[in-house]
Amino acid sequence: MTSTTTTPYRPSTAKRAQIWLANHFAMLSAILVLLYLFLPVAYTFAFSFNDHGKTNIVWQGFTWEHWQDPCGVPGVCGSLVTSLQVGAISTLVATVLGTLMALAMVRYRFRGKQASNVLIFVPMATPEIVMGAALLTIFVQGFSNIGLSLGFTTIVFAHIMFCLSFVVVTVKARIQSLDPRIEEAAQDLYASPMQTFWKVTFPLILPGIAGAAMLAFSLSFDDFIITNFVSGNESTFPKFVYVASRRGIPAEANVIGFSMFVIAVLLVVGAQGVSSLRANRLKD
């Protein structure tokens, strides 16, 4: 408007670079950190093509071989199946029990609430190795007398235990963000307590429950330390990899590890896509 008389302020190139850097500093460092997070995944991917000999540590040449037959190494696919089974059962049980607990903790007042809070919190503040050790002693010295020996069942029992607290915390946060008046409105509109739960409360906390289940599955699937204590001769995928690492992890394990990563990412992206699609369709 008045720029005919005054030349607009034009900072020097160096100054502009400095401003640009200041504006984008957080985003640039975030990208660097993400690259750092993905670096080992990239290595895992790359070395799944390594035409390695006894150990898969140094690059020796390209091959499709491991991708063509990921189960070619004894034990690797068996351990994967075990891990998936353990993960599925533990997730199911922990999610159900944890959701019930979360409902009690948010929606009710009762004697012993503080103690329950502590009971839920302390497992999350206990190092895995201590939980593993404690479970080992009771499985070996206590429960073995009633016919429970180390193996698949003990792994599942342990996984349900350490997933439980995380489920409670996740679902609890979701229930807390729910306006209690919405449930009151349902009751006011002739819904019995059961109908109120299934028609209103449950659909509204479902995203929280789904998130908790995902968390539980990934905790279970990736657990090694506790599993190592309570698994006996049973092998899960992380345990297989750990044991193999002594003599060299076969590239087939890289194939499976990387595939799990891709599947998980596709599932999450797919779920997000579906929900945003649904939101878009509603707008019209």
Partner 1 sequence: MAGFREARGDLQLDKVTKAFGDFTAVDDIDLHVPRGSFFALLGPSGCGKTTTLRMIAGLEQPTAGRVMIGDTDLTGSRPYERPVNTVFQSYALFPHLSIKDNVAFGPKRRKDKDAATRTDEALELVQMTQFAGRKPSQLSGGQQQRVALARALVNHPEVLLLDEPLGALDLKLRREMQVELKRIQTEVGLTFIHVTHDQEEAMTMADTVAVMNKGHIEQLGAPAALYDLPRTRFVANFLGQANTGVGTIKDTDGDHLVADVLGTPVKILKSRSQVHEGEVLFGVRPEKVTVSRSQPEGAGNDVKGVVRDVSFLGVATSYLVDMPSGTTWSCYEQNLDVEPLDLRPGDEVWLTWNPGHAFGVPVDDETAQR
Partner 2 sequence: MSALAHVAGDPDVTPAPPAPEATKRGWTAYLLLLPGALWLGVFFVLPLVQLAAVSLQSRYPGFPGYYYRDVNFQNYAAALTDYAPHFARSFLYAGLATFLAFVVAYPLAYAMAFKAGKWRNLMMICVIAPFFTSFILRTFAWSQILADEGWVAGTLNFLNVLPGGNIINTPLAVVAGLTYNFLPFMVLPIYASLERADPRVIEAGGDLYANGFTTFRTVTLPMSMPGVLAGTLLTFIPAAGDFVNMELLGPQRGKMVGNVINDQFLAIPGGYPVAAALSFTLMAAILVMVFLYVRRFGTEELV
Q: Which of residues 20-49 bind partner 2 (CB under 8 A)?
A: 22, 25-27, 29-30, 33-34, 36-41, 43-44, 47
Residue with token string 């607990």? 101
Q: Using CB under 8 A, pick the residue from 10, 179, 233, 246 that binds partner 1.
A: 179
User: 280: which 2 tokens?
Assistant: 């878009």
The verdict on 51 binding partner 2 (CB under 8 A) reads no
CA–CA dist 196, 174 (Å, integer)? 17
Q: How far is the CB of 203 from partner 2 (least distance, A)?
A: 19
CA–CA dist 216, 236 (Å, integer)? 16
Residue with token string 């915390």? 169
Q: Using CB under 8 A, pick the residue from 117, 188, 262, 265 that binds partner 1.
A: 188
Q: What residue 272 binds from partner 1, partner 2, none (CB within 5 to 8 A, per partner kind)?
A: partner 2
The residue type at 213:
A
Q: How far is the CB of 39 from partner 1 (least distance, A)?
A: 40
Q: How far is the CB of 180 from partner 1 (least distance, A)?
A: 9
Ranges within 120-149 binding partner 2 (CB under 8 A): 120-131, 133-138, 141-142
CA–CA dist 79, 99 (Å, integer)? 29
Q: How far is the CB of 17 from partner 2 (least distance, A)?
A: 17
CA–CA dist 57, 42 (Å, integer)? 14
Residue number, 14 or 26, with CB nearest to partner 2: 26
The verdict on 175 binding partner 1 (CB under 8 A) reads no
- Burial call 260-272: b when 16+ CB within 10 Å, e when fewer: beeeeeeeeeeee
The verdict on 187 binding partner 1 (CB under 8 A) reads yes
Q: What residue 232 binds from partner 1, partner 2, none (CB within 5 to 8 A, per partner kind)?
A: none
| Region of 11-19, 60-68, 201-209, 215-223 interacting with partner 2 (CB under 8 A) | 215-223
Backbone phi, psi, residue 147, to 5°: 85, 20
On the 0-12 / 13-18 / 19+ scale of CB atoms within 10 A, 92 is middle
Ranges within 200-239 binding partner 1 (CB under 8 A): 200, 203-204
User: 9: which 2 tokens?
Assistant: 């302020």
- Report angle CA 100, 228, 78 to the nearest 5 degrees: 90
Q: What residue 282 binds from partner 1, partner 2, none (CB within 5 to 8 A, per partner kind)?
A: partner 1
Q: Count Cα neighbours of 68 within 13 Å in the Cβ-side half-sphere.
A: 4
Q: How far is the CB of 131 from partner 2 (least distance, A)?
A: 7
CA–CA dist 255, 221 (Å, integer)? 16
Ranges within 231-270 binding partner 2 (CB under 8 A): 237-238, 241-242, 245, 249, 253-254, 257-258, 260-261, 263-265, 268-269
Q: How far is the CB of 166 from partner 2 (least distance, A)?
A: 10
Q: What residue 195 binds from partner 2, partner 1, none (CB within 5 to 8 A, per partner kind)?
A: partner 1
Q: What is the secondary structure of 53-94 as a DSSP string?
A: SS--SS---B-SHHHH-GGGSTTHHHHHHHHHHHHHHHHHHH
Beta-ladder partners of 50: 62
The verdict on 261 binding partner 1 (CB under 8 A) reads no
27 by DSSP, 3-state: which? helix
Interface residues with partner 1 (CB under 8 A) are 179, 181-182, 184-192, 195, 199-200, 203-204, 282-283
